[in-house]
Amino acid sequence: MTSAPATNWSGAELSSWNESLAASPGWNLSASPPAPLSPAGNFSNQFVQPPWCIALWSLAYGAVVAVAVFGNLVVIWIILAHKRMRTVTNYFLVNLAFSDASVAAFNTLINFIYALHGDWYFGEAYCRFQNFFPITAVFASIYSMTVIAVDRYMAIIDPLKPRLSATATKIVIASIWILAFLLAFPQCLFSMIKVMPGRTVCYVSWPGGMKQRFTYHVIVIALVYCFPLLVMGITYTIVGITLWGGEIPGDTSDKYHEQLKAKRKVVKMMIVVVLTFAVCWLPYHIYFIVISIYENLNRWKYIQQIYLATFWLAMSSTMYNPIIYCCLNKRFRAGFKRAFKWCPFIEISSYDELELKTARFHPTRQSSLYTVSRMESSMSVVFDPSDGESMKSSRKKRVSSQEANFNGCSRRSSKANSTVSSYVNSPYTSVDEYS
């Protein structure tokens, strides 16, 4: 994620500084597209912008940082400070929020300053960190979303399987960060600064030169963009077909519709989050692929404006998630109201307080609305004990249902009802998990 020159440097190569500096950018979010410079020895920045342009870009980047950092910190507070919000999905949202807030706080403004001035002011240690951490955080963000997608898939498609425990969730999050560190480590290892007359640059010096750098960038893009989006696309497509493919005939239970509606809401929210990430980062990846292939584009007069625009769009992905949560999830909306209750135009209703403090119900392993009985003949029968009929009448119904199950049509109906019963009333999930 960088646009600093990524070439091998030595004293003998100093005379070819102009050509090297005009090399295509890398992928580590740490610099601006280098300008074609004047004759050798003149290392001044050629991409000087008028004050009004600098002011507009500063306002745009400052807004992203402020909203991203503050919004994601509020999301973390909402989840960790309220027991009802501590679900498997929300723990991964904490990891996602932490990653986004960290990138916004430690990378966005620094990179903007470097892109604007073309001069590195922050030392070698921060140069290594600047090249290393963004890939780590973006990896953690996208794979947190991927794990959420897989978890939603398992919870909806195979609801009878146990959900991730608290310990397993921590192990998965730790594994994501370990893999992220390993992927980004070469960026830290090969980062360096070079002090030239009138200019200091931060870049990644790959031992294998341009070919090795390009190969690494392709691998990174595949792992932090293409592959996770493919996995999420497949899982959410299957989940969407399951949830929106039509309701089961004859199932009019309030609990069934309540859980179905809750599941649809959380899946819709996560689909919006994923699509936002994909749209924001796509131009950035395209930019670096094109620049790597057509290196002469680095000499184009407006290349820095294109870089600043694509980089701003990519970084803006860190500020949208809190807005999405607030708009599409009533519990997060109640949490944001509590966080901003000091504002005179924010009113917290009693319903908002209950959303964060009280659960609507706590389902047991056998629901009072649906009871699934598995017969020795592998047939399943569903009945509703709330009908108020006597036990004798219930037994007659069960016997009648068993006989009817041997009819092909009834067998399929019984199987469908049993599937819906387990789908809606899994002993491992509740409405709280989805609302």
How far is the C-alpha of 117 from the C-alpha of 233, rounded, in Å? Answer: 39
Q: Decide: 47 and 22 in contact? Cβ < 8 Å.
A: no
What pLDDT does residue 266 have?
A: 85
Q: How many CB atoms lie within 10 A of CB 435?
A: 20
What pLDDT does residue 1 have?
A: 54
Dihedral pair phi/psi, residue 372, rounded to 5°: -105, 125
What pLDDT does residue 366 have?
A: 38
Q: Is 46 helix (H, G, I), strand (E, B) or coil?
A: coil
Q: Decide: 365 and 372 in contact? Cβ < 8 Å.
A: no
Q: Decide: 214 and 292 in contact? Cβ < 8 Å.
A: yes
Over its length of 435 residues, how does the chain's per-residue pLDDT go in tens digits? 544 433 333 333 333 333 333 333 334 444 444 443 333 444 445 556 788 888 999 999 999 999 999 999 999 999 999 888 888 889 999 999 999 999 999 999 999 988 888 889 999 999 999 999 999 999 999 999 999 999 989 888 887 888 788 889 999 999 999 999 999 999 999 999 998 888 889 989 999 888 888 899 999 999 999 999 999 999 999 998 888 876 554 455 666 677 778 788 888 999 999 999 999 999 999 998 888 888 787 778 788 889 999 999 999 999 999 999 999 988 899 899 888 888 888 887 777 677 777 554 444 433 333 333 333 333 444 444 444 444 445 444 454 554 444 444 444 444 444 444 444 444 444 444 544
pTM of the predicted protein model: 0.73
Helix (H) or strand (E) holding 371: strand 371-374
In the chain, where does the domain assigned CATH 1.20.1070.10 lie?
11-339
What pLDDT does residue 247 have?
A: 58
User: In sequence order, what E strands does 139-264 have?
Assistant: 191-196, 199-204
**Which candidate, 346, 345, 321, 306, places its Cα nearest to that of 144?**
321
How far is the C-alpha of 138 from the C-alpha of 228, rounded, in Å? Answer: 12
How far is the C-alpha of 420 from the C-alpha of 435, rounded, in Å? Answer: 19
Q: How many CB atoms lie within 10 A of CB 367?
A: 17
How far is the C-alpha of 435 from the C-alpha of 335, rounded, in Å? Answer: 13
**Which candidate, 98, 103, 30, places its Cα nearest to that of 64?**
103
Task: Quickly list DSSP for 314-368.
Answer: HHHHHHHHHHHHHHH-HHHHHHHHHHTTTSTT----HHHHHHHH--S----SS-S
How far is the C-alpha of 398 from the C-alpha of 391, rounded, in Å? Answer: 11
Residue with tokens 């730790």: 174
How far is the C-alpha of 431 from the C-alpha of 435, rounded, in Å? Answer: 6
What pLDDT does residue 3 have?
A: 44
Q: Decide: 132 and 188 in contact? Cβ < 8 Å.
A: yes
Q: Decide: 174 and 67 in contact? Cβ < 8 Å.
A: no
Q: Both ends of the chain: CA-CA distance in Å? A: 36
- CATH classification (class only), 11-339: mainly alpha
CA distances from 328 to 70, 244, 341 (A): 19, 18, 20
Q: Decide: 5 and 34 in contact? Cβ < 8 Å.
A: yes
Tokens of 219: 């691998």
Q: What is the CA radius of gyration of the chain?
A: 28
Q: Decide: 87 and 359 in contact? Cβ < 8 Å.
A: no
